[in-house]
Structure 1
Amino acid sequence: MPVKDPLIETLKVCILQLQAEGTVTDSSPHLATCCELLELILRKGLQQPVLSLTHRDYWYCFEQLLQHDTCGRLSAVSLAVQKTTACPKLLTAQGRGRFFIRLMLAKRTLENAVKHVLHTGRVMEWYSPETSVLRNEKFVEPFLSLCLVLSEIKFKLNIENCSFLDESWLLPVCETYEAVPCRELGMVLRYLDGRVFVLELLHGGMAQVDMFAEPGDIIDEINGISLRNSSNGQAGVVLSRLKGQPLSLRLLRWRCKDGAMYRPLVPLLRQLKQENPLLQFSSAPQPSPAAQRQSQSQSQCVKEGRILYALQLLGKTNIGMYGGKEVLQHAIPAVLRMRQNSKEVLLDVKETHMTCTDKSNKQQLFQHHFPEISCVGRFGQPDFTIFAFCVVDTPDTGQPKGFCCVVLQATSSTECEELVHRIAAGFKNTEWFV
């Protein structure tokens, strides 16, 4: 039986789901998963320089293509590298790499970009021949074939919506508002983490009358001028320079399309609420009964400023003395085959630990601190809503300690992805897919 890489096999399933959608947009439930899998494959086996304080990421591999001129200065790949480098909204190598992946998908040239990296010997030396996909003859051909399939899918993406790629593959709702020349827009602004937030709308101002913004939204651009990484007062300087001219405002909404809170903004919105206690970020409207059921965990389960996730606890089982991430691909199906009685639960992921309570009677089912957790991952069959984590098991009997695999199911693949990210961030050293 030929050896298979789990990342490539999971990417194959994800691509089949994208093909079934036809045209792929930013609202596709499988887009973020596909991009993250590509990122994990490009990172796998990437070795860090010995005498350097700079962390090497896969973006530097594509950036090197310009220096070695392996693709020609005017090729689509070269122009994409230049556009990525020049984007003022990207502050990290991770953000630039993610922007480049989205750009290559939109231009249908990801396969060409990967081939240029493969043909650049200096760059390929950065990858470990033992662990990387790109330097493994058995894996690289299937990966290139999947990249070719992706080039045949139509991606209709908003490339300019990239200000949160440094932090997350999840993107906010991005809208543009065209304003006629006016003396003032009628907004009180607040600068947090290099972003320009709308803190308050002034009574009778244009923003309130036209209802094009609400407190919590971010002004991302004004007439094409990026406000990412802005210092205090920069938006006012730009507006004064454009006084008397029509304005084009690019806004990032704090609400997702289903009315739920955009999760990467939760810590910053919490700070805004401290300054203006009248702000209400949890009273999101539910557009339809179906959307209301799907977004119940985000929009209705908010406690003391924290999001509580409404999940299904599918069961758990003892997996022995080894709790590495490799066991998840066997432990999750084992729990599913046991068909234990599932429970509706609320999961609260805090800074140092997480707690799980029974939704019906509010009884606490478990509480685990992150140092107790050995791994976390998603299960890709038949969808991407099931995930699990392994934790130190303390049996009631006199049996020796081992590890227990706890399996849960989220309401959507996006919610599942966010949960795995948040749990993984608690102990950092894990891969997020099995």
Structure 2
Amino acid sequence: MSISDPLIKDLKGHILEATKASFNGPLLDTQPFILPLCQVLEAIFRKGLNNAVHSAFGLTKRDYWSWVEKTAHTSAGLQGCFKRTVEAVATNQSVTTPQGRGRLFIRHALKSKCLHVPVETVVRMKCNDGVYEEDSIIGNEILGEIFLSLLYQCSHIDFDPKLENASFLDETWQLPIYQEYELVPCMDLGVYLGHVSGRAVVVRVEDGSVAAEDNKIEVGDVIDEAFGICINGWRRGRVSSLLRQKRGLPVSLKVIKGHYADGSVYPGIVPLLQRLHLDVNSLQEQFREVALAESQETSLINNQLEGQTVQYLGSISVGSSGDVSKIEHAVIAVSNQNRPAIGVILVTGEIGVQTLLKTNRKMILNHSYTEISSCGRRNDMPDYFAYIAGDTSCSISSHFMCYVFKAVTVEQSRDILLTLADGFHRTHWAV
């Protein structure tokens, strides 16, 4: 057998991508290389696997999860995190097949940095026991070492997959969007469920109900957990019974969304929708209309948040009064502090004013118009402007701060003050 293998080459490429991306923080499921990385790992675990097992019922087939689980129980001196990972997978109620458990193990082991441990038992400890054929990667002396070295490299990368998102691993590697919600206490969520293949699929949502708010729960969604309890395999009526038992408590739900952000239906849910006689094409059209509307709304908000580029000079306390007369002195006091000016974007919205760093748009100031008592500028420094805000609503606040800025031009300073004045009725400003 050649000492090279296409699967090893693919794995090297994915690990290189992961290593580069990890410099920016833990790797989430949203990274595009996570899915192909997991798929190629599974392909290597399956290549050359001797899956024929003699039992009292004759020859049966096993998947790689079988020997991984057995290794955790029979091999002494292995890492504790590996054994805890295997136990977590074995007791997980979201997966029921060896394929699902194997896939969940790969995701768990990437996060806990122990995927190399079972492979070590075959490659280094020679505990193959006929599990892998000679034409496999793990069973080959040279390729096994190469694979093991790549898994060691994985153990230095911070993977952070959403492990709760496991319910469809029995059928597919393709993951849905997984959301967690906490709804207000109620007796009736306004949700009607259809039970198929052990899953609770939303078939109708009442308009104006708690569940319908902001499209949290939609037709085609699958309720995965309620109040921290996995409801896969539950009979009809048990969810309603659980709601009655938890009466008066916030309703915590974990939901598998029936569609992606672009409105396309999650493929794993399609067979369930069809068995419940739901029109998949009609649903997808609805989802895409909502996604388009949300995209347009987001675009509008982003346009509104473009704001004005100015310099932020700093702030100073002006005492227990936020009167406009305090602005002239505050502007001089802050400018005399000789602090380095910070490039910012000043966003005047419908309900308040936000100040974002120009470099990364991180918010450093946020005041509602009800907190702002006055705004203005000095006649002799017309490119400087400021506003005064209390630590709560200005009508009851006992402490006020003045925030001072420098505009690019005198005209920009004037226009910003006019916009601020339009935002609240109490403002007095000087030009």
TM-score (norm: length of structure 1): 0.61
| Structure 1 residue 78, shift from structure 2 partner | 0.4
Contact 2:184–2:210 under 8 Å retained in 1: no
Cα–Cα, structure 1 residues 34 and 186, in superposed 2: closer, same or farther, change >3 Å?
A: same
Q: For structure 1, which runs of at least 5 residues remain unmatched after alignment?
A: 290-434
Corresponding position of 1:370: none
1:57 to 63, 70, 74: 63
Cα distance, 1:118–1:260 mapped onto 2, change above 3 Å: same
Q: 1:19-34 alignment to 2 at 5 Å?
A: 19-22=19-22, 23-34=26-37
Instruction: After superposing the two structures, state which structure 1 stretch, 219-228 or 252-261, moved more.
Output: 252-261
Do the aligned partners of residues 117 and 85 (structure 1) sit closer, same or farther apart at CA in structure 2, a change above 3 Å counting? Answer: farther
Whether the 8 Å contact between 2:121 and 2:127 is mirrored in structure 1 is no
Number of the residue aligned with 2:195? 191
Match of 1:125 in 2: 130
* Structure 1 residue 44: Cα displacement: 1.1
**Contact 2:103/2:169, CA 8 A, preserved across alignment:** yes
d(CA) in 1 for partners of 2:258 and 2:127?
A: 43
Question: Does 1 or 2 have the higher relative contact order (CA < 8 Å, sep 6+)?
Answer: 1
Structure 2 residue aligned with 1:180? 184
- The corresponding residue for 2:7 is 7
CA distance in 2, matches of 1:242, 1:53: 48
Please give the root-mean-square deviation of Cα atoms over the aligned residues, in Å.
Answer: 2.4
Kept in 2: contact 1:95–1:165 (CA 8 A): yes
Q: Are the equivalent residues in 1 in contact too, given 2:273–2:280 (CA < 8 A)?
A: no
Structure 2 unaligned regions, length at least 5: 297-431
Q: Secondary structure at the match of 1:54?
A: strand
Q: Which residue of 1 aligns with 2:237?
A: 233
Give the Cα separation in 2 of the matches to 1:6 and 1:278: 39
Q: Report the Cα offset of residue 68 of structure 1.
A: 0.8
Q: Is the 8 A contact 2:95 2:169 kept in 1?
A: yes
Paired residues, number: 286
- 1:224, 1:211 → 2: CA distance? 21
**Of residues 107, 110, 114 in structure 1, which corresponds to 2:115?**
110
- Report the alpha carbon displacement of residue 69 of structure 1 after superposing the two structures with TM: 3.6
Letter of the 2:80 counterpart:
S
The 8 Å contact of residues 128 and 139 in structure 2, kept in 1 or not, is answered as no
- Contact kept, 8 Å, 2:183 with 2:211, in 1: the verdict is no
CA contact (8 A) 1:124 1:135 kept: no
Residues 277-426 of structure 1 correspond to what in structure 2 (within 5 A)? 280-283=283-286, 284=288, 285-286=291-292
Measure the CA separation in 1 of the matches of 2:148 and 2:262: 35
Render the CA deviation track for 1:252-272: whole Å, top value 9, x for unaligned. Answer: 101113332211212222334
The verdict on how the C-alpha distance between 1:241 and 1:54 changes in structure 2, with shifts beyond 3 A counting, is farther
In the alignment, the residues of structure 2 paired with residue 16 and residue 199 of structure 1 have an alpha-carbon distance, to the nearest angstrom, of: 43
In the alignment, which of 150, 157, 164 is matched to residue 161 of structure 2? 157
Q: Indicate the residue corresponding to 2:93 in structure 1.
A: 88
Task: Give SS of 1:83's match.
Answer: helix
Equivalent residue for 2:83? Answer: 78
Q: Against the structure 1 CA distance between its residues 275 and 101, is the aligned structure 2 distance closer, same or farther, given a 3 Å change threshold?
A: closer
Counterpart-to-counterpart distance in 2, 1:168 and 1:190: 22
What TM-score results when the alignment is normalised by the length of structure 2?
0.62
Partner SS for 2:212? helix
**Measured at CA, do residues 16 and 122 of structure 1 come closer, stay the same or move farther in structure 2, by a change above 3 Å?**
closer
- With over 3 angstroms needed to count, the CA separation of the structure-2 counterparts of 1:282 and 1:26, relative to structure 1, is same
Shift of residue 240 of structure 1?
2.5
CA separation of 1:110 and 1:288: change in aligned 2, threshold 3 A: same
Q: CA deviation at 1:160?
A: 0.8
| Offset at residue 122 of structure 1 (A) | 5.6
Distance apart, 1:275 and its partner CA: 4.9
Percentage identity across aligned positions? 35
The CA deviation at 1:29 is 1.2
1:177 counterpart SS class: strand
| Equivalent residues of 1:217, 1:251 under 8 A apart | yes
1:217 to 215, 221, 242: 221
CA distance in 2, matches of 1:136, 1:155: 28
* 1:278/1:145 CA distance change after superposition, 3 Å: closer
Is the CA contact 1:71–1:116 (under 8 Å) kept in the aligned structure 2? Answer: no
Superposition deviation, residue 21 in structure 1: 2.2
SS at match of 1:18: helix
The verdict on how the C-alpha distance between 1:105 and 1:275 changes in structure 2, with shifts beyond 3 A counting, is closer
Counterpart residue number, 1:44: 47
> Which amino acid letter does the alignment assign opposite residue 155 of structure 1?
F
Q: Distance between the aligned counterparts of 1:277 and 1:24, measured in 2?
A: 33
Work out the CA distance in 2 between the residues paired with 1:145 and 1:119: 12
- Give the counterpart letter for 1:24 in structure 2: L
**Alpha-carbon contact 1:65-1:120 (below 8 Å) kept:** no
Q: Aligned letter for 2:215?
A: M
